[in-house]
Chains A and B, each alone.
Chain A
Amino acid sequence: MQSKNRQIPIAFAVLTLVAGISIGTSATQEDEEADRGKKDFVEVGCYQCHGYQGQGGPGGRIAPKPLPLEAFTRLVRRPANVMPAYSPKVLSDEQLKRIHKYLESIPEDPEVSTLPALSEE
């Protein structure tokens, strides 16, 4: 029993370490993807209409909460309004995924109430 009891914290510690490493690696990969997505976002010209932060302009706001990836992809491939259609020839699915990651990584904008310039009547 004693030896078995001793093994539990050791096993827990090992699991925690492994999980920690695993989580840490995943976060880094996601950051890298988002960084690459940011480059893609600029290189394929999304910023032209949607702004560097996806905040919108002539095109709509697409960050920080973009449409789910599937819907996002469908919209980019077959846009409904004035946006030009981006075929896989000029924008791959991989790039789209990375761009989506980038848009998800953009922090929330401040609330109106926290900005005196906008909250004053």
Chain B
Amino acid sequence: MTTRRDFLKGVAAAGTLSGLASKSEAQAAQAETQTRAAVSALPPSSYVEAMESDVPGYSEAEAEHYFVQHAGSDFMADVIKSLGIDYIASNPGSSHRGLQESLVNYGGNTKPEWLTCLHEESSVAMGHAYSKIAYKPMAMACHSTVGLQHAAMAIYNAYCDRAPLIVFGGNHLDAADRRPGAEWSHAAQDAAKLVRDFVKWDDTPHSLQHFMESTMRAYKIATTPPMGPVVIIVDGHLQEKEVEGNLPRIPALAPTVPPQGEIGALREVARLLVNAERPVILVDRVAHTPEGMTRLVELAEALQAPVVDRGGRMNFPNDHYLNQSGRRGQLIREADVILGMEMYDFWGAVNTMRDLVHRESSRRTRSDVKLISLGVNDLFIKANYQSFQRYQPVDLSIGGDAQASLPSLTEEVRRAMSAGRRSQIADREKGLREAYGNMQAQSRRRATYGWNSSPISTARLTMEVWQQIKEHDWSLVSRGLGGWPQRLWKMNKHYHHIGFSGGGGVGYGLPASVGAALANREHGRLTVSFQSDGDLNYAPGVLWTAAHHGIPLLSVMHNNRAYHQEVMHLQRIATRRQRGADGPAKIGNVFEDPFIDYATLAKSMGWWSTGPISDPADLAPALKRAIDVVSQGEPALVDVVCQPR
């Protein structure tokens, strides 16, 4: 067993926080200074300083009985630090108290910094959106059975949205070591089973070596396309007990290079696209990073092919004439070749099914269209949850990360193009520019509809916000109001849009906005969110988290005082059955009598806020004041009573 003195000597010898448990380990560490420095480059925390002197008044035997000299979770903290994770979001719980204490005291509460969350669903959704701005995962700690149940829906969203997350869940595996009561109700034989259907991988380590290996593996799995959440169940006893024996060496992380489509198949795609007269590029979750946008523009320009962006990520600038998403119906109908990349729902993009009693589907495409699929969806699929959408037969299906495959595909397109064909393809540009101009003009014309109405139209609200933010370096981190920002704002940076929840689990919007704003903070960006009222009502405590951690965010509410989607659904059913109209459709779906005062709610959580605003003329001054507040590093909420959609 490692003694306290051995441990202190080890610390002194290495001068790091790397979790050294014996002299021999300390000596080994000296030979690995470079590796260790990367793992624990921080100055000693108050914990380590305190450990550099003995506890006065106790014999060595007493000290060993009462005090833990080197807890297992200290080593866990070192492992987590080695991954370069900046934040760990958590609602507290005793099953991960050892890890929490280690990260805060031993780890100095930095890289990762512990974020205080008021609901596990908020923790996970924060991390979900954070990863789409920071391009790396956040960690979460969930309190055993109950915490993981709270977290589950948000984990499902991240799974559907292919977002990386590292979830640590506490548990007490050994029944003999459980205290009576809560430690039993908060323990499970197989804690991760609860979410296994919608995580990419999970494990329950039984030793520190096992923890290290599984956490490193989990990180690699989470961040390799198709990305997704992973869960590591951290045994409470393993966290808290004294370390026995030498600690394992923490290897440097070697991220996995994303898989690329097979070159012969990409060559065939290029041939089909070059020979097509009306090619269309359909994209959904292609661009993980700005590089993905750049590469997609190159491909589209080489082919002079219109791009229809389904918006799962910011894939293609909307001020580029080849972004013709607003013409998707016509383009898909007329296309002779459609390349779908990282499509969440390829079937839904090329077929329709009306919401009638008898579900009938029809194809939107020409009968002779060639369909090509490129993406990672076929490389990873699970059985139970049906988020993989309906099966779409295609002519060519290529497994590979689209972003990683784009440079080769574009190169093959250029190679396949004769000078004559290049000239013919270049001739498409004029018509596509004209169509783009018409599409833009039509969007602006449509935005005038109901311009002066009260409740405020979503297009008016969109443009009032645009007028205030357009000179800033802004980032829209929510679903846009009916897609108006995508139609009317200039969106040409990767952080101008981060996609959606993935699984459609309501309650993602507010915590996701806070998480994305956290990632934007270090870049000094103005983070903007259109916040729906129904979403905010799920777990408003994350408002406090934003205020507490000084996360600047402009939250502009789309307050229609209802779960309006459900109002429409109920109306549809009642109308189909020839009974009832709007009144009954509201039952169970609207927030009236009383209206919810979101401005006061936000204020109570430490936000600057104003509203409700229902006169469009009042928007500009309110938004100006809110942006002043956000520019000072604080969150601000403007409650706007809007048209339903």
Q: B578 touching A90 by the CB < 8 A rule?
A: yes
Residues of A within 8 A of B458 (CB): 57
Measured CB to CB, the closest approach of chain A to B586, in angstroms, equals 9
Q: Mark B132-145, 1 if CB is under 8 A from A, else 0.
A: 00000000000000
Q: Which of B354, B448, B488 is close to A82, meaning CB atoms less than 8 Å apart?
A: B354
Q: Which residue of A lies closest to B354 (CB)?
A: A82
Q: Which residue of B lies closest to A87 (CB)?
A: B578
Within 8 A of A (CB), among B441-460: 441, 444-453, 455, 457-458
Q: A89 touching B579 by the CB < 8 A rule?
A: yes
Residue B210 interfacial (CB < 8 Å): no
B-side interface residues, number (CB < 8 Å): 40
Q: Which of A57, A58, A91, A118 is close to B581, meaning CB atoms less than 8 Å apart?
A: A91
* Segment of A7-15, A18-26, A29-37, A42-50 in the binding face: A42-50
Q: B457 touching A55 by the CB < 8 A rule?
A: yes
Residues of B within 8 A of A115 (CB): 448, 451
Residue A53 interfacial (CB < 8 Å): yes
Q: A51 touching B645 by the CB < 8 A rule?
A: yes
Q: Which residue of B lies closest to A86 (CB)?
A: B575
Pick the most buried of B441, B449, B568: most chain A CB atoms within 10 A of its CB: B449
Q: A45 touching B585 by the CB < 8 A rule?
A: yes
Q: B645 touching A90 by the CB < 8 A rule?
A: no
Q: Which of B446, B451, B581, B643 is close to A52, meaning CB atoms less than 8 Å apart?
A: B643
Give CA–CA (A55, B447) in the complex, Å. Answer: 9
Residues of B within 8 A of A117 (CB): 463-464, 466-467
Measured CB to CB, the closest approach of chain B to A117, in angstroms, equals 4
Residue B588 interfacial (CB < 8 Å): no
Q: A51 touching B581 by the CB < 8 A rule?
A: no
Q: A45 touching B579 by the CB < 8 A rule?
A: no
Using known A-B contacts A55-B450, A110-B448, A117-B467, determine if residue A42 contacts B455 with beta carbons closer than 8 Å: no
Q: B451 touching A110 by the CB < 8 A rule?
A: yes
Residue A84 interfacial (CB < 8 Å): yes
Decide if the interface of chain A is mainly helix, strand, loop or mixed. Answer: loop
Give CA–CA (A118, B443) in the complex, Å. Answer: 10
Residue A69 interfacial (CB < 8 Å): no
Q: A90 touching B581 by the CB < 8 A rule?
A: yes
Measured CB to CB, the closest approach of chain A to B191, in angstroms, equals 42
Q: Which residue of B lies closest to A121 (CB)?
A: B440
Give CA–CA (A91, B355) in the complex, Å. Answer: 21
Q: A112 touching B564 by the CB < 8 A rule?
A: no
Q: Which of A48, A85, A111 is close to B582, meaning CB atoms less than 8 Å apart?
A: A48
Q: B466 touching A51 by the CB < 8 A rule?
A: no
Q: Which of B466, B467, B482, B582 is close to A42, meaning CB atoms less than 8 Å apart?
A: B582
Q: B567 touching A48 by the CB < 8 A rule?
A: yes
Give CA–CA (A51, B645) in the complex, Å. Answer: 7
Q: Which of B450, B578, B585 is close to A53, meaning CB atoms less than 8 Å apart?
A: B450
Within 8 A of A (CB), among B569-611: 571-572, 574-576, 578-583, 585
Q: B576 touching A48 by the CB < 8 A rule?
A: no
Could you pull out 20 A-B pairs where Cβ atoms are within 8 angstroms? Answer: A43-B581, A44-B581, A45-B567, A51-B449, A51-B643, A52-B455, A53-B457, A55-B643, A56-B450, A82-B355, A84-B576, A85-B575, A85-B576, A86-B575, A90-B575, A90-B579, A91-B581, A109-B452, A110-B448, A118-B447
Given known contacts A81-B354, A111-B448, what 10 new A-B pairs fall within 8 Å (CB)? A42-B582, A45-B581, A52-B453, A53-B449, A61-B449, A87-B578, A90-B580, A91-B581, A109-B448, A110-B452
- Closest 10 A/B residue pairs (Cβ): A55-B450, A57-B645, A55-B449, A45-B582, A84-B575, A53-B450, A44-B581, A117-B463, A109-B448, A89-B578
Residues of A within 8 A of B (CB): 42-45, 47-49, 51-58, 61, 81-82, 84-87, 89-91, 109-112, 115, 117-119
